[in-house]
A and B are shown apart, each in its own frame.
Chain A
């Protein structure tokens, strides 16, 4: 899902922070991407390299922290692991599962010098 747009969003947050901190170079960018976020990490890495070319983050290592999916199943009244958004509960098969974790896509931190 529009990984190019997201990579642009990441670069913007990174550039803003790097400028504020007076960085000369960005060495590492750490993202948190939930498994239920509809983001394909491999595609995002590819796009990140493309958009950072010629920027302060050129050549920076992209670390993607994988956040497992979790949801609240109404039928089981319990938190259950989820592998896909809008999927069924692995315990009871109900679709009344509200995702509670794994939908995030955030820039956690950057390493600068």
Chain B
């Protein structure tokens, strides 16, 4: 299942995906398996395998099957070691292996004043490695279960429910920052004119900027095709049953699109004013789009999204003469949930008000470039400092 949205495996599709490939283990074992990963990725990059079991035979003839939960980078077609195995097994040749034990004892007892004790002992037994060439880091802490002894105990987790997504999002943001890329996450309800606005924005900026687009929708690649028609690369992510894009999907889209340094990276989220508010994708700003054919009170009805956004585009303003929509009231409502919100009134169709929005994008890109050169200067200063220290020795 998807890490955050709970959609079933195979539901999420990134265009041009699906493959079978062979791994060569350090011990010479070769095995072939098809990945059923919900977020596919380019070869050679870092990726995450979902749990999957695959039986294989070691050089010493031992055969076993185990579940991998590997989360590591490897280049395909090259030899690599799997680690973090969590599987108890006995080798036919009696190969010794090292493993870690941890015992936990929890017991309650009553003194004059009653209190609880909890003890944790962790100790490792490194055995001499055998000749089989196997590496086995054992079964992990507390696997040594003592029969008949109740081990019920509390384990502190203290983690945000969205922590996994936030980890991916942070990695994306760091990646963007290191390359001076400016990333925006466009969010709105369906039908607010996001794609038209994107097309117009791209048409006016593509002469001066490099632009990549990620399109999120439950189904169809229609939007990505519309973007590609403007002449810039676009990648469609179909979330299947999912109601939002998440940091993991966007990370893979980035690997696929390989945006150039100092480029603009636009993410059009699934049309939904609720869930995308909670999921950081690693963007620099969320841009909420509200169209004047909706209600003025939408920012009050769906406050999370307008609070999470830094910019609001009030779109379809060319229709204002025909509607009973109070644009000032809509702005005031949006500022009530987010006093710092920057608002642009635009019409993607007529181009009215677009200049201010395009300028805001240019400013953002400039700021990213400045941030990147500041990082480079900082690194250079550190290198100079280290070289001085080395010369002084």
Which residue among A17, A85, A113 has the maximum number of chain B CB atoms within 10 Å of its CB?
A113
Interface string of B3-33 (1 = CB under 8 A from A): 1111000000000000000000000000000
One of A22, A23, A95, A107 near B161 (C-beta < 8 A): A107
Q: A2-B244, A113-B150 in contact; A24/B4 too (CB < 8 A)? A: no
Give the size of the chain B interface in residues (CB under 8 angstroms): 46
Closest Cβ neighbor of B101 among chain A residues: A22
Interface string of A1-44 (1 = CB under 8 A from B): 11011111110111001011111100100010000001000000
One of A5, A21, A86 near B275 (C-beta < 8 A): A5
Q: A1-B274, A85-B304, A95-B336 in contact; A112/B152 too (CB < 8 A)? A: yes
Chain B neighbourhood of A10, CB < 8 A: 161
Q: Is B142 an interface residue (CB 8 A)?
A: yes
Q: Are A22 and B142 in contact (CB under 8 A)?
A: yes
Alpha-carbon distance A19/B159, docked complex (angstroms): 16
Interface string of A75-113 (1 = CB under 8 A from B): 000000000011000000001100000001111111111
Q: Is A51 an interface residue (CB 8 A)?
A: yes
Can you identify 27 A-B contacts, CB atoms within 8 angstroms?
A1-B304, A2-B275, A5-B275, A7-B6, A8-B3, A8-B5, A12-B164, A13-B159, A17-B155, A20-B140, A23-B155, A38-B278, A85-B303, A86-B303, A86-B307, A86-B336, A105-B160, A106-B160, A106-B161, A107-B159, A109-B156, A109-B157, A110-B154, A110-B155, A112-B151, A112-B152, A113-B150
Q: Which residues from chain A sit less than 8 Å from chain B, CB to CB? A: 1-2, 4-10, 12-14, 17, 19-24, 27, 31, 38, 51, 85-86, 95-96, 104-113
Question: Besides the contacts A5-B244, A106-B158, what 10 more A-B pairs have beta carbons closer than 8 Å?
Answer: A5-B6, A8-B2, A8-B5, A21-B142, A21-B155, A23-B142, A104-B160, A105-B161, A108-B158, A112-B153
